[in-house]
Amino acid sequence: MSALDSNFLTLLRVHLVSVLKLPKRIIRPNKTNRRSDQRMSSAKLDQFQTSGRPTWAEIDLENLGANFNVIKKRIGAERRIMSVVKANAYGHGAVGCARRLAHEGTHWFGVALPEEGIELRDSGIAQPILSLGGFWDTQASACIQHQLTPVVYRLDMVQALNQAALEAGVVADVHVKIDTGMGRLGIRFDQLSEFVDGEAVKFFRERGYRPTHLHLANSPGVWGHSEGWGNMVRPGGALYGLWRDILPPAAEKPGLAPVMSLYSRITLLKWVPQGETIGYGCTFEASRKSLIATLPVGYDDGYMRGLSNRAHVIVRGTYAPVVGRVSMDFVLIDVTNVEAAEVGDKVTLIGQEGELKIPAEDLAKIAGTLSYEVTCGISERVPRLYV
Ligand SMILES: Cc1ncc(COP(=O)(O)O)c(C=O)c1O
């Protein structure tokens, strides 16, 4: 018996979901639609910044909203957007981001796990929520109870959910996940066509299912492959303004603005004589008398060790190099060339100050990873400040 043609599925509504490895393409710009209704007052900001360790991530909800509207304009009013807010909205804070995206009119939310969906429900999010990773053995009832829609890709998942729906006396939706090439989750496309020749949607329709939603496209798909848009798209990274290492190398900019900035403050300044080494493993030796500043941020905060001796930060409108090894709780920077650097100066580790920029994508490149891992990696001990 197959999950697809058994008739015990009467309590489940079937939709299609799929993941495709999408090649990349040139990007066209769109104007952003800026709003300022959720900005934090500067008084509140100051209070926040002095209330604990001076290391924080600023989440620009205005840019998040603008990015959502760039995507909306790109795909057209006839299609829906599922905003992917899994992994704590790629480190940006799931609840704060979901509230803003709901305000902007997102139709769906995408999470990786039922637990993430429950967090959104508990915070009052009412939009449909898709659990993109499905659910685990004991979670079928929780999905029903919290009105979470999971993807399914195994017969026993369908059975468990059907049973939970029966017990609760409700009709539950599922999205059937088809593996179109990632080889990760989903029913293999060629296993579907063993039953019926032709493509998956036709296969379902011929068996009497009427999928409401057909969706395939993540951020690169939104920019590169309109044929994969279906009637809903599932962007994540683009919402958070992460695109340089996600979308194709672009002749033009896509009009997406970064949402997360990471800041700290100088907590100690000291002169180090020429020839002296600093940091674990003595990996940096001062080639001149150097003014070294200590920042209370380290790899436990997500500022990766791979950035040691390689990244820069911005202080007082000047790039300053990270010197020595990034340690668990502290980073050292060379501020010899920064005019009048002082204890308490704000330091930009990710973000923009005037013309100077440090995108998450640049840090990712230095550390040999992806911008998503940079923002996801900003740990829980770094407070998020929504501005
Ligand atoms: C199934 C699925 N859909 C959509 C997305 C969103 O992808 P992106 O952040 O590249 O837009 C992800 C992210 O990993 C995903 O796993």
* Domains, the chain, ordered by start: 2-32+61-240 (3.20.20.10), 260-358 (2.40.37.10)
- Picking from 86, 205, 167, the residue whose alpha carbon sits closest to that of residue 134 is 86
pLDDT of 5 reads 41
Q: Is the CB of 219 under 6 A from ligand 1?
A: yes
Q: Rounded CA gap, 122 and 259, in Å?
A: 24
Q: Is the CB of 228 under 6 A from ligand 1?
A: no
Catalytic residue among 44, 270, 280, 289: 280
pLDDT of 201 reads 73
**Ligand 1: distance of its center to the CA of 52 in Å?**
34
Q: Rounded CA gap, 74 and 282, in Å?
A: 51
Single-letter residue type at 83: S
Angle CA 15–156–164, to nearest 5 = 75
**Ligand 1: distance of its center to the CA of 233 in Å?**
10
Q: Is the CB of 132 under 6 A from ligand 1?
A: yes
**Ligand 1: distance of its center to the CA of 259 in Å?**
17
Ligand 1 atom showing the smallest separation from residue 222 Cα: 11
Helix (H), strand (E) at residue 346: strand 346-353
Distant-in-sequence, close-in-space partners of 125: CB < 8 Å, separation ≥ 6: 95, 98, 99, 102, 109
Q: Is the CB of 19 under 6 A from ligand 1?
A: yes
Whole-angstrom distance between the N-terminal and C-terminal Cα of the chain? 53
Q: Is the CB of 218 under 6 A from ligand 1?
A: yes
Residue with tokens 């900001």: 45
Q: Rounded CA gap, 270 and 280, in Å?
A: 17
Q: Rounded CA gap, 306 and 311, in Å?
A: 9
- Picking from 95, 71, 234, the residue whose alpha carbon sits closest to that of residue 151 is 234
Q: Is the CB of 84 under 6 A from ligand 1?
A: yes
In this structure, what token pair is assigned to residue 175? 């999205």
pLDDT of 203 reads 74
What's the Cα-to-Cα distance from 226 to each of 22, 70, 200, 211, 259, rounded to whole Å?
A: 11, 15, 18, 20, 25
pLDDT of 49 reads 56
- To 10 degrees, what angle do helices 94-104 and 61-75 make? 50
Q: What are the DSSP E strand ranges found in 181-259?
A: 187-188, 214-215, 232-233
Spell out the alpha helix ranges (H) of the chain.
42-49, 61-75, 86-90, 94-104, 114-122, 140-145, 155-168, 189-192, 200-206, 219-224, 360-367, 371-377
pLDDT of 350 reads 98
Q: Rounded CA gap, 226 and 230, in Å?
A: 8
* Backbone dihedral angles phi then psi of residue 214, each to the nearest 5 degrees: -125, 115
Residue with tokens 């600023």: 58
pLDDT of 9 reads 41
The closest residue, in CA terms, to atom 16 on ligand 1 is: 132
pLDDT of 39 reads 41
* Backbone dihedral angles phi then psi of residue 84, each to the nearest 5 degrees: -85, 110
pLDDT of 38 reads 35
pLDDT of 198 reads 54
pTM higher than 0.85: yes
Q: Which residues pair with 264 in a beta bridge?
A: 55, 347
Distant-in-sequence, close-in-space partners of 232: CB < 8 Å, separation ≥ 6: 79, 80, 81, 82, 107, 108, 213, 214, 215
The closest residue, in CA terms, to atom 7 on ligand 1 is: 218
Q: Is the CB of 247 under 6 A from ligand 1?
A: no
Q: Which residue of 24, 84, 153 sits with most ligand 1 atoms within 8 Å of its CB, as the best mutation to test the pocket?
A: 84
Q: Is the CB of 148 under 6 A from ligand 1?
A: no
* Residue 86 bears catalytic tag: yes
* Residue 357 bears catalytic tag: no
pLDDT tens over the chain, length 387 residues: 344 443 334 456 666 666 444 333 322 223 333 333 334 444 445 445 546 899 999 999 999 999 999 999 999 999 999 999 999 999 999 999 999 999 999 999 999 999 999 999 999 999 999 999 999 989 999 999 999 999 999 889 999 999 999 999 999 999 988 888 888 998 887 776 543 345 667 777 777 777 888 888 999 999 988 888 889 999 999 999 999 999 977 637 899 999 999 999 999 999 999 999 999 999 999 999 999 999 999 999 999 999 999 999 999 999 999 999 999 999 999 999 999 999 999 999 999 999 999 999 999 999 999 999 999 999 999 999 999
- Picking from 237, 363, 362, 365, the residue whose alpha carbon sits closest to that of residue 302 is 363
pLDDT of 22 reads 39
- Picking from 260, 246, 180, 217, the residue whose alpha carbon sits closest to that of residue 74 is 217
Ligand 1 atom showing the smallest separation from residue 238 Cα: 11
Please say whether the beta carbons of 93 and 114 come within 8 A: no
